[in-house]
Amino acid sequence: MSTTGVVSPRVATAEGQALTQRKVRIGEVVFRLVLQACLLIAFLFLVWLVSYAVVRGWKRLDSRLWENMPVGRISRIDSAGVQSAITGTLWVILTTAVLCLPTGIFGAIYLEEYADQTKWYNRLLELNIQNLAGVPSIIFGILGLGIIARQFGLGFTVITAAIVLALLVLPIVIIATREAIRAVPQSIRQASYALGATKWQTVSRQVLPAAVPGIATGSILAISRAIGEAAPLIVLGAVTFVTTNPDGLLSKYTTLPIQIFNLIGEAQLGYQEIGAAAIVLLLGIVLLLNSIAIFVRIRFQKRW
């Protein structure tokens, strides 16, 4: 009958439908509508959420938000901003990235390229990482409080927050990097070895460059996750009222999610509006990061 081996499902469906009863066809339509509704409901919530935040925060969505510091006096609400939270977030996230990206990428390289999968300790390592990916973020906060802040004496500072967040998103980086490395075909590696390259040369000059889009996507998503985290930082006592930008890793700090958490709970409407505006700002940042990740994946994705 048809010459090509691949039959598009739509054609098949049309033929299939022609052969089935009428009542099934109505069921088909309903089914499809239900599925579309599922997708639509999820989208509607997203639209509702974003527009609610925008409407609530509209009055404060101006340069005051990033130019000004939080104010401690109700009379000066009009000139309040969240600059300390923005810079605090920048400080914490950049430090987090510096800590977790190399560790995660190199750890993943070990697991994918060097580790003997049959050995029990490597399997334990894998299991451990998969488990950590599912541990609630607040538990990481407890870890930070008990060991890093108190035992190591680092206190409630930028570096403690960065370490805790780095440990939190480390499994994401490792898992994403592993996926990316795994997607590189063996033939690339074999060709490299065939030309006399060492293992590390193969990894660093062939495998990794090929896996960069996947690694980049995973890293950006991990950082995006870290930016939005508030729970572990609450436990770590991210100070609520900070009017200066951090000036070192041992500074006290606040971050956007923490500021939002506090602002929306304040009694004055003015504070709540700033909080909503800060939400819009945070959403904008997260949206930007996610879009970059998606762009990187689509643009640089290799088809093997």
In the structure encoding, which two tokens stand for residue 243, read together? 């009017």
Residue of 226, 214, 212 whose CA lies nearest to 289:
226
Asked whether the beta carbons of 203 and 242 are under 8 A apart, the reply is no
10 Å Cβ neighbour count for 20? 12
Question: 62 vs 106, which CB is nearer to other proteins?
Answer: 106
Burial of 57 from C-beta contacts in 10 A (0-12 / 13-18 / 19+): buried
Rounded to 5 degrees, φ, ψ at 188 are -65, -45
Question: 62 vs 241, which CB is nearer to other proteins?
Answer: 241
Question: 62 vs 207, which CB is nearer to other proteins?
Answer: 207
**Residue found under tokens 């070895």:** 193
CB of 214 to other proteins, least distance (A): 13
CB of 82 to other proteins, least distance (A): 14
CB of 267 to other proteins, least distance (A): 4
Check the CA dihedral 238-244-246-250 and report its sign: negative
Question: 27 vs 62, which CB is nearer to other proteins?
Answer: 27
Question: 60 vs 95, which CB is nearer to other proteins?
Answer: 95
CB of 216 to other proteins, least distance (A): 10
Q: How far is CA 209 from CA 147, 202, 212, 215, 302, in A?
A: 37, 10, 5, 10, 11
CA angle 204, 208, 209 (to 5 degrees): 100
CB of 3 to other proteins, least distance (A): 15
